[in-house]
Amino acid sequence: MVLVLALAGVAILIGRRMGVRGQYLWGAALAFLALVLLLQLFLPDAHPVKEATGTLSGWLIFIGVGGVGLAYLCALRVLKRHAQSEEPASAPSDKFTDAELNRYARHIVLREIGGQGQKKMKKARVLVIGAGGLGAPVLQYLAAAGVGTIGVIDEDVVDSSNLQRQVIHTDARIGMPKVFSAQAALQAQNPLITVLPYNRRLEADMAADLFADYDLVLDGSDNAQTRYLVNRVAVKLGKPLISGAITQWEGQLSLFHPASGSPCYACIFPHEAAAGLAPSCAEVGVVGALPGVIGSMMAVEAIKLIAEAGAPLKGQMLIYDALYSETRLINLKRDPQCSVCGQPAK
């Protein structure tokens, strides 16, 4: 009997190796078992084949034990399937998976963020203007933090002169549109979030439609025209705007949100600087780690705002002078006559 079972086992293994489907193997095994039983039942007692294939009682015990084992396995399978089919129905989409719980564990243990704050992060939709110096740390930390949906808009391609500070891009991705390079970096860091790249310049005719899809806007753009446009559209739609800027050794950031009583960008800088008075980083230079500092601070402000932790940087501007290691916090006031958020006198 042991020999017969061993031979049948070898036959099944060979069948599996050859790619024979499970149901055929089971069918063959059952047919083989039936044949052995028939031999045991109908062959005369002293028949050599009957003697070589064991005893009838032995086979009956084998069938009994095997049957109970199979029934147990089937019952387990049915229970498992039942549990799996019930899981998605009873688990709302904001429930964390084990992978998410582990990934965001250091946030979840923070009293000010916790599970609730992390859930808000997962649901949040954040738009980042610019995938350059400020955009790099902003995007990286928001993705790592588990912000569920991150949009990024930029029209540029990666240039070797960017790599001194735009650490989201790599040498191998020179020539690639920055938003796609950023997307690759973010998805590699955190595959559990969604990144939406917009490979184009932000224009007045599409900005409102784009902003409407997001809860919060972070501006790391490098030109005044975009900066004023971002502010106008954010104010119009009542979206909070975290704005950062850098030049040479100094950077600044603030949260502009007139809808919650704080000033807008135009309250503080009502007029675009005259040409030549606000030179670009390309003209006057910028120290590589500075956007890392200011962009990371912007990401922290975004995380605080989403998780409703601490006091947001509204009505205040944080200024960092890297050359002399100085930080200053200045109070900002809303301008009732502001051309963007105020009601100018008629």
Q: Structure tokens of 21?
A: 């489907």
Q: Residues 32-41: contacts with CB within 8 Å, 24+ apart?
A: 32/8, 33/59, 33/63, 36/4
Q: Candidates 245, 267, 290, 302: give the one binding Zn ion (CB under 5 A).
A: 267
Mark the segment that binds Zn ion (CB under 5 A) among 129-137, 219-227, 257-265, 323-331: 257-265
Distance (Å, rounded) from C-alpha 80 to C-alpha 76?
6
Mark the segment that binds Zn ion (CB under 5 A) among 12-20, 122-130, 259-267, 276-284: 259-267
Q: Residue 233, interface with Zn ion (CB under 5 A)?
A: no
Q: Candidates 266, 293, 305, 332: give the one binding Zn ion (CB under 5 A).
A: 266
Task: Decide whether 64 or 238 has the Cβ nearer to Zn ion.
Answer: 238
CA distances for 59 relative to 10, 31, 49, 84, angstroms:
19, 14, 15, 37
In the window 88-127, what residues touch Zn ion (CB under 5 A)? none
Q: Candidates 264, 297, 305, 306: give the one binding Zn ion (CB under 5 A).
A: 264
Q: Work out how close the CB of 224 gets to Zn ion at its nearest, in angstroms, rounded to a whole number.
A: 16
Cα angle for residues 90, 96, 99 (degrees, 5° grid): 125
Mark the segment that binds Zn ion (CB under 5 A) among 13-21, 152-160, 196-204, 265-273: 265-273
Binding-residue total with Zn ion (CB under 5 A): 6
The β-bridge partners of 329 are 318
**How many CB atoms within 10 Å of residue 3?**
10
Q: Residue 338, interface with Zn ion (CB under 5 A)?
A: yes
Distance (Å, rounded) from C-alpha 307 to C-alpha 3?
68
Comparing C-alpha atoms, which of 180, 135, 129 is closest to residue 158?
180
Task: Decide whether 297 or 341 has the Cβ nearer to Zn ion.
Answer: 341
Mark the segment that binds Zn ion (CB under 5 A) among 29-37, 141-149, 266-274, 323-331: 266-274
Q: Residue 230, interface with Zn ion (CB under 5 A)?
A: no
Q: Residue 179, interface with Zn ion (CB under 5 A)?
A: no
Three-state SS at 327: strand
Q: Residue 255, interface with Zn ion (CB under 5 A)?
A: no
Token pair 């990286």 in the structure block, residue: 140
Q: Residue 234, interface with Zn ion (CB under 5 A)?
A: no
Mark the segment that binds Zn ion (CB under 5 A) among 38-46, 191-199, 294-302, 338-346: 338-346
Contacts of 4 (CB under 8 A, 6+ apart): 36, 52, 53, 54
Task: Decide whether 306 or 338 has the Cβ nearer to Zn ion.
Answer: 338
Q: Residue 340, interface with Zn ion (CB under 5 A)?
A: yes
What is the contact surface with Zn ion in residues (CB under 5 A)? Answer: 264, 266-267, 338, 340-341
